[in-house]
Amino acid sequence: MKFHYARRILILASIALFNTSTSAQVATVKLELYNHQVWLKAGLTGTKTDTLNFLFDSGAGTALLDSTVARKIFKDGKFGQIIGSGAGGNISMQVLDNQSIYLGGVKIDSVKLLVNNLGNLSATVGRKLDGIIGFDLLKKYVTRIDLDQQILTLYKDLQDLKAEKGQLLAFEFSPEIGFLPRLKCSFTTLAGKNYSGWFFMDSGAGLTTLLNTPFVNTNKLLHTTGKTLQLKTMGMTNASERYLARIKDFSFGGYVFKDVPLSLSQTTSGVSAMDGYLGLLGNEFLFRFNMTFDYNHGAIYLQPNKYYTTPFDFPLCGFSVKLENGKVYVSFIAPDAPEKAQGLASGDEIVSVNNKNNLSIAEVRELLKHPGKIILKVKHGNAEKTFDIPLYPRI
């Protein structure tokens, strides 16, 4: 959630063979593209109505439910315990076995629901996140995500899909994490150094790509990729440290993207600390395609959509923001950011930007995307402070 920005759950467990006995049900579901990530309305056993906000995450091996929502719906539920692993490390979670998720009238049954507090992820993405779904959907249905039409469609078989699918993506399922696709990608640094290797494909990661810590450190990329900006993302497992840099190009599946922001992990546990992988491919690339997943036949198709040429966002300030209890706060400031020297601090509540009050987090983030200058008023403790902050490329 990125998202990095934004983070997703990977369950390091043995995965059974894909279930090929699908229901005759087929559904078309309206989706929402928010922060370049796919959001769906879903329901659960006992609700059936699509009232919950679910994030579609191809990197989620098991469906996830926010603990606050779980306590309201499953008041008498028998919760077990399980250890999950995310990009930033391991965490102990509760689990509800043999549940059902309802999506556009389709019942997805025999779901193992992991239960954990998603408050940090909600704060990072800037909206209430009730749950996450990925592999539980993909293993049962051919799933097409059409961002041009803003719909997700489920099919029994690929032959039922009449629309143009796009280009077949060469990939294989990871031998270490059986539900997670991996593919070969390559990138070139500003210094002209080229690297290529395996990347996990993860639509729940709200960034272009995140390079794994062992690869970053072995190749000394923190010192050879040019100017970097230190970031910290609050995920579900912990706070993950990473650095943002600019690269010349990034390519996968025959597609080449120029002048791209790239993240470098420094976490020491979890998926981003794995050897043998360069990193993960996130949704700042993937939202540029309509995607069709046919996991029962080991196929993924990519079709460039209307967002394909969307310019990449580069940070123009040295701080990030989050949403808590309806208010926008400064969540993190880079140690060497000028704003920090001015006195801006993590935890400051944003009162106004350019004298505009009561802004949503989306509006605040939009105002931070345009070069120039902003007047930022914050509440620091019981006092208010005003800062003149220049906005210019930080990497």
Strand 142-146 versus strand 229-234 pairing type: unpaired
pTM: 0.89
Does 154 reside within a domain? yes
Q: pLDDT digit string (tens) for 183-235?
A: 999 999 999 999 999 999 999 999 999 999 999 999 999 999 999 999 987 66
Rounded to an integer, what is the distance from CA 279 to the centroid of its chain?
Answer: 14
Number of folded domains that form the chain: 3
Q: Are residues 276 and 213 in the same domain?
A: yes
Specify the pLDDT at position 294: 97
Helix (H, G, I), strand (E, B) or coil at 170: coil
Final residue belonging to a domain, choices 160, 190, 211: 160
Specify the pLDDT at position 217: 97
Q: Which residues touch 111 (CB under 8 Å, ≥6 apart)?
A: 63, 98, 99, 100, 101, 136
Q: pLDDT digit string (tens) for 96-129?
A: 999 999 998 899 999 999 999 999 999 999 999 9
Q: pLDDT digit string (tens) for 305-335?
A: 999 999 999 999 999 999 999 999 999 999 9
Q: pLDDT digit string (tens) for 334-356?
A: 999 999 999 999 999 999 999 99
Give the CA distances from residue 354 to residues 289, 332, 339, 363, in Å, rounded to whole numbers and listed in that order: 35, 21, 16, 12
Q: Are residues 48 and 151 in the same domain?
A: yes
Q: Residue 353: which domain range?
A: 319-391
Burial label, 307 (beta-carbon count in 10 A; 0-12, 13-18, 19+)? middle
Does 311 reside within a domain? no
How would residue 19 be classed by pLDDT, with cut points 50, 70 and 90?
Answer: very low
Nearest one of 122, 116, 108 to 6, comparing CA atoms: 122
Q: Are residues 189 and 294 in the same domain?
A: yes
Cα 154 from Cα 143, distance rounded (Å): 5
Q: Are residues 188 and 255 in the same domain?
A: yes
